[in-house]
Amino acid sequence: PERRPMRLLVVALIATLAACATQPKMAYYREGATAFDRESDSAACRAQAAAARVPLFSELSILNDCMIGKGWRMVPVDQIPL
């Protein structure tokens, strides 16, 4: 009985890792933008999110909302034109 919580934790960890391994790698994309544009906007949005002093999950949401507001969208890396 004492090992049951540990087993559940291990199973949950394995399931989480398996789910992450099957997800496509994603990146922000905006047609016509350069890597410099992406990094510049991302740095500004990260600063905005960090200044909010909220939990990490909320910080990531602020970052994503900021990038979307600047015209970026998340797409699978293999769908970004070269």
pLDDT at position 24, please?
84
Structure token digits, residue 14: 């394995």
Residue 9 φ then ψ, to 5°:
-65, -45
| Strand, coil or helix: 38 | helix
Distance from C-alpha of 8 to C-alpha of 71, rounded to nearest angstrom: 41
Structure token digits, residue 72: 């970026």
Residue 53 φ then ψ, to 5°:
50, 60
For the chain, give the mean pLDDT. Answer: 87
Q: Give per-residue pLDDT as tens, 35-60.
A: 999 999 999 999 999 999 888 889 99
